[in-house]
Amino acid sequence: MPQSDIITKAPPLAGRRIFIVEDEPIVAIDLKYTFEHAGAIVPAISGSCRDALRAVQELDLDGAVLDYNLADGDSLPIAKALADQAVPFMFYSGGGDFSSIRKLWPQVTIVRKPTQSAKIVQALRDLL
């Protein structure tokens, strides 16, 4: 096949550095695999608010996906820290006070767990 006939398409999250905040290990690993398969780099996964806040200060990020409910509280402080640094974020959560989220960030993307991998990748791509 001639080189001109080959169509190359970059993965939807190619090279994007995505931070995952999720306290359920299986969900976190699944998200990491999903995002890496879509071309992203996952520099860190955090399962606690305290660790996530430290990571937000230390990492160079293109975006983040946050679970709302973490073992040590909700992820609103993490969302605020990301917003303060102009890092786009979305929530991927099975529950939480979504009205509080909407009051603070009316346009934020919220995807409810569980969902298909393609939908979470598309939501993240749209965010970035």
The fraction of the chain above a pLDDT of 70, given in percent, is: 94
Residue bearing tokens 């890092």: 87
Supply 43's token pair: 């520099």
The fraction of the chain above a pLDDT of 90, given in percent, is: 86
Alpha carbon distance 85, 3 (integer Å) = 42
Does pLDDT of 83 surpass 60? yes
Sorted by where each starts, the structural domains of the chain and their CATH numbers stand as: 11-127 (3.40.50.2300)
The pLDDT value recorded for residue 1 is: 45
Alpha carbon distance 11, 51 (integer Å) = 29
The residue ranking higher by pLDDT, 95 or 53, is: 53
Secondary-structure percent of the chain, ordered helix, strand, coil, rounded to 5: 40, 20, 40
What pLDDT band is residue 81 in, cutting at 50, 70 and 90?
very high
Does pLDDT of 96 surpass 90? no
Tens digit of pLDDT for each residue in 8-56? 688 999 999 999 999 999 999 999 999 999 999 999 999 999 999 999 9
Q: Which of 2-16, 64-78, 90-104 has the lowest mean pLDDT?
A: 2-16
Under DSSP, is residue 96 helix (H, G, I), strand (E, B) or coil?
coil
Instruction: List the alpha helices (DSSP H) in 15-91.
Output: 25-37, 49-58, 76-84
Whether 99 and 123 have beta carbons less than 8 Å apart is answered as: no
